[in-house]
Amino acid sequence: MPSWDWQLYCTDMVTDEVAPKCFGASGYETYLDAMVHAWGWTMGISMLGLLVALIAGSLIGILRTVPNRKLAMLGEAYTEVFRNIPLIVQLFLWYHVVPRLFPMFASVPASVLVVVAIGLFTSARVAEQVKAGILTLPKGQRYAGQALGLTMPQTYRFVLLPMAFRIVIPPLTSESMNIVKNSAVAFAVSIPELAQYAQQASEQSSFVQIFLPVTLLYFVSAFLINRVAKFIEAYVRVPGILGAK
């Protein structure tokens, strides 16, 4: 059984001496300090990635439903590209390939590239949900907006999207939870989030002592997002629509 001693001890790879800090950063006197810091990285990457996914995914989802066939095909192509390439491959492309092809990205921090990779990967799935939500609405709503003299952007803004987003909140909740779990791929490019913390700390401590709390933090993070989304779903629900009372 593990002793659950959260004191942080690391062995220097050169001198073989025991040091009180680890993970290449100063100020971590205990495993708990390092884990909390790693959790902050995980949540920061996840929330920023989710913001990118919601903005890009919503725009692409709208694009896929406009009458202009070329714009719709562009949106379809975007979705197919980002949906059918594994996330870890996209991450390596952004981290290793893009800075070499476009030197202006060479100075961009790795954390920003990770956020972009996770956000764009998830945006393809968000776009699919937004498209489905818009197409679920009766066509009469679009025609009613046009009959009132609204432009196409105004029809989307005031007529279609308010109802479409209410419909897709449940599937968007799943995508929001998934992005927290997908953030674990960031360890592959040395971002100090929970997965990297668990990998490094387990080399110097018990697997049980490290992975049980890390697993719990992933669960708590995803569960909190689920609860927040449920609250939003109940708050914006329109009586008589989607089973609302």
- Please report where in the chains the tokens 């001693």 appear, as a residue: 5
Residue 163: φ, ψ to 5° = -80, -40
**Burial tier of 69 (Cβ tally within 10 Å: 0-12, 13-18, 19+):** exposed
For every one of its 245 residues, what pLDDT tens digit does the chain have, with 9 covering 90 and above?
Answer: 444 444 444 434 334 443 444 444 445 557 788 888 999 999 999 999 999 999 999 999 999 999 899 999 999 999 999 999 999 999 999 999 999 999 888 899 999 999 999 999 999 999 999 999 999 998 888 888 888 888 888 999 999 999 999 889 988 999 999 999 999 999 888 888 888 888 888 777 777 788 888 999 999 999 999 999 889 888 887 776 654 44
What are 7's strand-pairing partners? 30
- Please give the backbone phi and psi of residue 30, each rounded to the nearest 5 degrees, phi first: -135, 160
Integer Cα distance of 176 and 232 in angstroms: 13
Query: Taking the CA of residue 139 as centre, how many other CA atoms within 13 Å lie in the half-sphere pointing to its CB?
Result: 3
What six digits make up the tokens of 129? Answer: 């949900």
Domains along the sequence of the chain with CATH: 10-236 (1.10.3720.10)
